Amino acid sequence: MVRDSVVRIGLVLPDVLGTYGDSGNATVLRKRLEWRGYRAEIVDLAVGETVPNSLDFYLLGGGEDRAQTLAVAHLTANPGMQEAASRGAVVLAICAGLQILGHDFTGTDGVTHRGLSLLDVRTTPGTAARAVGELLTTPDPALLTATMTGFENHQGHTKVGPNAKPLSKVVYGTGNGDGADGAYAGRVVGTYMHGPVLARNPAFADLLLSWAVGEPLAPLDIPVIEKLRDERKRAVQALANRRKRLLRF
């Protein structure tokens, strides 16, 4: 079935926020909609362009500290995404994206920058080594039952305040740095998972899409995605076993 209206997916500042293939999340959303007969369009919103408040979905990716301050300045001057979020549009933010949605974030130089205050989180540099590697989590069961897998690369640690909830519990990796990964409030969601996260976690992609289209979505059977998920889970298991051995000797 082909639906009349077009689901519009904004890729927010892909020129400064889009490390580790995060822009691929937009392609995953578009394909998963098209495979079910919806029409979908990706709207690239580069630095310097106005951010419309009329889109259904906004995606923000990762980036380094300098890119984050640039992104906040642009999105503060062009608050279309924040306006859309207040009427229920879906926002998914990865890593640096998660950090800039918070109230503030402190870079490795010790300078604190204001965020967009779309999510009740705050970020400061972790004291341990930079978190780089696989991240495996179990999401809040109110949202999802499938395990989530991704790749993380960040120095910042994030505290979730009372007006947001952690997205998931860390099984392997660092995430927010306190045993949880990411945060969500309403339809605004953030995670430390690159990968891109929506390619590696189809149930998560479909949850967010069902919010955007306003109806549950029929499952899609794509065996290669399950193969990828199994392969990544086995890789994490091998890393965890190796760490146990290293700890023992």
11, 29, 72, 95: which one binds ligand GLN (CB under 6 A)? 95
Residue 103 annotated as catalytic: no
Q: What is the 3-state secondary structure (H, E, C) of 58-69?
A: EEECCCCHHHHH
**Member of 15, 41, 64, 104 binding ligand GLN (CB under 6 A):** 64
First to last CA, the chain: 59
Of 74, 154, 157, 194, which is the active-site residue? Answer: 194
55 close to 44: Cβ distance less than 8 angstroms: no
**Measuring CA to CA, how many Å separate 31 from each of 37, 42, 47, 89, 153?**
10, 11, 25, 19, 27
Question: 205: which DSSP letter?
Answer: H
Cis peptide before 196 (omega within 30 of 0): yes
Tell me whether residue 95 is one of the annotated catalytic residues.
yes
Structural element, H or E, at residue 18: none
- One of 65, 120, 134, 206 touching ligand GLN (CB under 6 A): 65
Which of 150, 156 has the CB closer to ligand GLN? 156
Catalytic residue among 95, 103, 113, 154: 95
Binding residue (CB under 6 A) for ligand GLN from 63, 115, 177, 202: 63
**Site residues (CB under 6 A) for ligand GLN, limited to 9-38:** 19
If one asks whether residue 190 binds ligand GLN (CB under 6 A), the answer comes out as: no
Q: Supply the residues annotated as catalytic.
A: 95, 194
Residues that bind ligand GLN (CB under 6 A): 19, 62-65, 95-96, 153-156
